[in-house]
Amino acid sequence: MEKLQRGEGVCLVCGKDLIYYSKTKIMTCLLCGDTYDSNASCVEGHYVCDSCHSEGGVNAGLLHCLQRQSKNPLQLMMELMDMPEVYMHGPEHHVLVGAALLTAFHNAGGKLDLPLALQEMKKRGGKYPGGSCGLWGACGAAVSTGMAYSIIRGTTPLSTDDWSPTNRITANALQAMADIGGPRCCKRNSFIALLNAIPFIEKEIGVRMEKPERVICHYLKENKECKGPACPYFPKRP
């Protein structure tokens, strides 16, 4: 029997709850008209593809990155999350986590052609599907740091020295996410991924980025599934 799970009310068409299916279904995006295999629609049957969902937030976010001089990827990520084009949850985070990391790395002295790096980040992160944390067992925010590291180092499947750290930066973030537990939160997992990436890159590459003394989430009112005090970024946590 097919398993259904009701999630956050973020349908872009009607604002009602989403339903996640245990088996993929063929659906037509109401915005672009293209057909995709998907595990989610809203309770009214509306479906919007990942590309249409994230396009506005990704483009606005990348433009913002090009204008900023911050060496702090957490600060950058919160600026991106605060944009009205970026939703509480969504695949845009799969691009923007890596974009914030690449931007801070560049601003901290890392050798990188930032415009080209951000273009590549958009291409790679845009291919990673929404819901991958539960459906694939690998959150896109964690994988986004691996994408960014790969772009920085030029890693390919045939690389030797850089292949292991490219996978390890993702693995470290996934382990930290798993230790905290579900349900998913794109904000929480973005924080986890970047906080793990900052010391990792300093150790492996020698580029020191900045980070806040404490990350305090101010998105909890937008998340009906917030873990509350169980989340390390909950504002009232002692």
Establish if 105 belongs to a structural domain. Answer: yes
Q: What is the pTM of this model?
A: 0.84
- 220 domain residue, yes or no: yes
Q: Are residues 169 and 226 in the same domain?
A: yes
Q: 41 and 50 in contact (C-beta within 8 Å)? A: no
Same domain for 66 and 21?
no
126 and 195 co-located in one domain: yes
From CA 107, how far away is CA 62, in angstroms rounded? 15
- What is the domain count for the chain? 2
SS3 176: helix
Whether 199 is in a domain gets the answer yes
- Measured over the CA atoms of residue 98, residue 186, residue 26 and residue 57, the dihedral's sign is negative
Whether residue 235 is contained in a domain is answered as no
What is the residue type of 200? F
Please, are residues 58 and 92 in contact by the beta-carbon 8 Å criterion? yes
CB 173 within 8 Å of CB 218: no
The verdict on residue 236 lying in a domain is no
**Token code pair at residue 104:** 């801070």
Same domain, 23 and 130: no
Judge if 159 and 175 occupy the same domain. Answer: yes
C-alpha separations of 91 from 78, 122, 206 in Å: 16, 11, 30
Same domain, 33 and 65: no
| Same domain, residue pair 33 and 138 | no
Residue 125 CA to residue 221 CA, distance in Å, equals: 27
Q: Verify that 110 and 72 share a domain, yes or no.
A: yes
111 and 64 within one domain? yes
Give, for all 238 residues of the chain, the pLDDT tens digit.
344 454 455 687 787 888 888 888 899 887 778 888 888 888 888 888 887 777 888 989 998 999 999 999 999 999 999 999 999 999 999 999 999 999 999 999 999 999 999 999 999 999 999 999 999 999 999 999 999 999 999 999 999 999 999 999 999 999 999 999 999 999 999 999 999 999 999 999 999 999 999 999 999 999 989 999 999 999 975 5
Q: Is residue 120 part of a domain?
A: yes
Residue 152, CA distances (Å) to 33, 105, 110, 117, 144 in order: 36, 9, 9, 8, 12
Distance CA 121, CA 78 (A): 18
Statement to judge: residues 26 and 115 lie in one domain: no
111 within domain boundaries: yes
Regarding whether 209 and 151 lie in a shared domain, the answer is yes
Q: What share of the chain is helix, strand, coil (3-state, %, to 5)?
A: 50, 10, 40
Let me know whether 26 and 131 are in one domain: no
φ and ψ at 184, to 5 degrees?
-65, 150
* Residues spanned by the domain of 113: 50-230
Paired residues of 5 in beta bridges = 20
